Amino acid sequence: MPEVVLRILLDQNVPRAAGAWLKTHRPGWEIAHTSELALSLRSDEEIFRWAQNHRQIVVSFDEDFADARFFSLGSHCGVIRLRVWPTTIEETIAALQRLLNQVPETDWPGSLIIIERGQIRLRRAAPTP
């Protein structure tokens, strides 16, 4: 089965080293960090809007991105909420590795994925009739 090409935007609170790790494991993907795009000091709303305009999945430790009141399912290209502590490079990479191992890449776009230490939850928008 051919590899799915995803576009990923790592939020300012995600270690840049995790992005480098992800690039080595999925070299065909487009992976950017907010610090590379002059978005580091921007609000969540600005980062979210930028990601949608560029069709990218946001990866963040920030719980606001998982709040449907602000970023409802079906309104975005995808959000991956890292909910692991401590927020070290090692824990971040371990969470991303679990995601790669457990959730098919075809399920990522348009979904809210919450990665916790013991589980990964995936929520998709209800299909339109």
* Rounded average pLDDT over 75-92: 95
For residues 125 and 38, the model is more confident at 38
| Number of folded domains that form the chain | 1
Q: What is the pLDDT of residue 79?
A: 96
What are the backbone dihedrals phi and psi of residue 121, each rounded to the nearest 5 degrees, phi first? -110, 135
Residues 39, 32: Cα–Cα separation, whole Å? 11
pLDDT > 90? residue 28: yes
Longest dimension (CA), the chain: 43
* Rounded average pLDDT over 17-24: 97
Per the domain annotation, does 63 fall within a domain?
yes
Q: Which domain holds residue 69?
A: 7-123
Tokens of 15: 């270690």
Per the domain annotation, does 38 fall within a domain?
yes
**pLDDT tier for residue 128 given thresholds of 50, 70 and 90:** low
Only one residue has tokens 């610090």, namely 35
